Amino acid sequence: MHRTRTAIDMHSHFLPKSWPCLATRHGGEGWPSMRHSGPLPTGTLGYDRTCSAMLMSGGDDFRPVTNACWDVRARLDDLDRFGVHSQIISATPILFQWDRPRKASVYVARHFNDAALEMCSASHGRLHALCQVPLNDVDDACLELERSMANGHVGVQIGNHIGAKDLDDEGIVTFLQHAAALDAAVFVHPWDMDPLSGRLARHMMGWTVGMPMETHLSIVSMVRCL
């Protein structure tokens, strides 16, 4: 049965099929990459879909993914199947890499922002992108937001904190004010949940417990700014 496509999906992540080796380019460990060979799970987390690749964090498996992460035709087929007209895509937060040196963080943001626009350009106007920024340096973040908005992004996605800095941090507030001046929509994504204690490692509690907790912390920090 044909479904009328009226809905807009404003939260969906993308991944390029591959990207340059960031460890070779910038040094250091723990960089994200994609693995297409070797053993792959038969399904993805929570979805009865064929796993097409494994998103890696350093040398460790991070998350199985489907080809719709990078294949525009496969993504549009999914939108048609569920009656969705348009979709806003953004990088999964593992790509932020805010703990890296400034030059590396800027490179990562620019690379994945350009990759997102490549997907959008092949979607016949149905995909739109939120950029990412190197928020570990406010000046760099503001410049990348300006570049991205000029190139066609509709806004920006940020994590809800940088280490111990919440959304009421002076530097983050400065960035948010700059986004407002550019009329850039800001999507705040909860992330980096319980990274040390490991108490949320079971039963996907990092998502079901940790993400709501991070959202509450963000709300409180913004209320404190008023």
From first to last of its 226 residues, the chain has per-residue pLDDT tens of 455 668 999 999 999 999 999 999 999 999 999 999 888 877 666 566 778 999 999 989 999 999 999 999 999 999 999 899 999 999 999 999 999 999 999 999 999 999 999 999 999 999 999 999 999 999 999 999 999 999 999 999 999 999 889 999 999 999 999 999 999 999 999 888 765 556 777 777 877 887 787 877 788 887 866 6
Helix (H), strand (E) at residue 214: helix 211-225
pLDDT at 222: 74
Please tell me the predicted confidence (pLDDT) of residue 207: 74
Q: How many CA atoms lie within 13 A of 133 on its CB side?
A: 32
CA angle centred on 115, ends 191 and 154, rounded to 5°: 70
Name all domains of the chain by residue range, CATH numbers in brackets.
Answer: 8-225 (3.20.20.140)
Pairing of strands 53-57, 32-35: antiparallel
pLDDT recorded at residue 172: 96
> 207: which DSSP letter?
I
Sorted by sequence, the CB contacts under 8 Å of residue 42 that are 6+ apart come out as: 50, 51
pTM confidence score = 0.89
**Model pLDDT, residue 2:** 52
Token digits of residue 188: 């705040």
